[in-house]
Amino acid sequence: MRLLVTTEAHFSRGPLGEVYADGPIKYSTWSNYLDVFDKAVVLARVCATNGDGRDLARADGPSISFCALPDYHGPWQYLRSLPELKARIQRIVPDSDAFILRVPGLVGRLAWQEIRRLGRPYALEVVADPWDALGPGSLPSLFRPVFRRAGTRELKIMCAGAAAIHYVTESVLQKRYPAAPDAYTIAYPNASTDSAFACAAILQERFARVIPSKRTRIGFIGSLAQMYKGPDVLLRAFSFCRSRGHALQLVIVGDGRYAERMKVLAKELGVGDTLFVPRLPFGKPIFDFLDSVDLFVMPSRAEGLPRALVEAMARGCPCIGSNVGGIPELLAPEDLVPPNDPEALAQKIMEVTADPTRMKEMSERNLARAKQYDPEVLRQARLAFYRYVRDHSESNAKSGRGQQSTLQPL
């Protein structure tokens, strides 16, 4: 059985047609589908790479191929690419046996429209909330409120018509985007902490360096391709703390089209010594970075269940996060702040960093919470979801119910 999967991630193609990942979503991610399906085709934006891909991980491989879409960025490039996007999707959908769409996103939306037009069943992986992701401050566009309402409305319709849904949160996304009463639903995070837990020696080293009189190192990991991770909120909070005489250092790991704008903002706020690291390879470099920071901050305007936060917790980092999406399912209430509120975030940072005992308690609590995401438990949940999608798709094909949908296009 051939599975079609959609993703909003960007990839690059090498000179021989090989596909490379520009982040943690590499071949090992897609190969999970092969535990149940014979083949998987990834529908994603792919650009030509300038090099040989030596520093990048392969995303394709045995039984995993890509259907390359134009590598558009932003709504206007999307509109210009729309005819070609639709043409490629119309060619690939009829040749697939089952569908898992990672939503929200425009790639998943286009595939869903074609699947629905053909009257085929589909499954969703709901990984974020467009209502939060397109909230105030997330996108510098006059059309942001329109995109926000349209994205939220469409995701609700998609969930209502899905045969199966994997939610990355325990309850948050389920409440806003409910499934149909007869749909198969399951909740488990995409994040995996296998072999990433901090050992006792790392924790002892972390506890030993937390002294109020010393400079506290604050870490952030997140894409700067959009603003929903809140790097501007963190910079403003950091500046506020500095103006109150707190000895802090900030390191921002992430890359994207807003990276230069954030560097300019840091200088304007008087915190030009903020360290900006474009990206770190997944695995040990990320773990080493997390071990080097005293406090991890995730000031997101929107989230599903953030992988970076789970990894920070697994390394025993004290963490502060905004009260959105799945973050409250991970952190204690006293470690949360309202989104898009730099002053509240600054107050929380100053409060936490002034109390070594509290930071130690946060570290231990976070590590214990992260260990609840047992890799084998997550694997069994993933297999159960894939098997349902496979069996339901096979049953639908055998019964000949692939008739035209009665739903009208939006």
Alpha-carbon gap, residue 196 to 371, rounded angstroms: 10
321-348 CB burial, b ≥16 within 10 A, e <16: bbbbbbbbebbeeebbbebbbbebbbbb
Beta strands in 236-390 (DSSP E): 248-253, 275-277, 295-298, 319-322, 336-337
pLDDT of residue 406: 33
Domains of the chain: 2-191+376-399 (3.40.50.2000), 200-370 (3.40.50.2000)
How many CB atoms are closer than 10 A to CB 84?
A: 12
The structure tokens listed for 219 are 């870490």
Q: Which residues lie below 8 Å from residue 44, measured CB to CB, with a gap of 6+?
A: 6, 7, 8, 9, 10, 11, 66, 67, 68, 69, 107
Query: Could you list the mean pLDDT of each consecutive 10-residue stretch along the chain, which spans 410 residues?
Result: 95 91 83 96 89 75 96 90 96 96 96 96 95 83 88 96 96 95 93 71 88 84 91 97 94 93 97 93 89 96 90 95 94 96 97 94 95 86 96 84 37
Q: Which residues lie below 8 Å from residue 60, measured CB to CB, with a gap of 6+?
A: 18, 19, 27, 30, 42, 66
pLDDT of residue 401: 47
pLDDT of residue 214: 75
> Three-state DSSP class for 339?
coil
Alpha-carbon gap, residue 320 to 363, rounded angstroms: 11
What does DSSP say about strands 98-103 and 2-13: parallel, antiparallel, or unpaired?
parallel
Please report how many Cα atoms fall inside a 13 Å half-sphere around the Cα of residue 79, on the Cβ side: 2
pLDDT of residue 79: 93
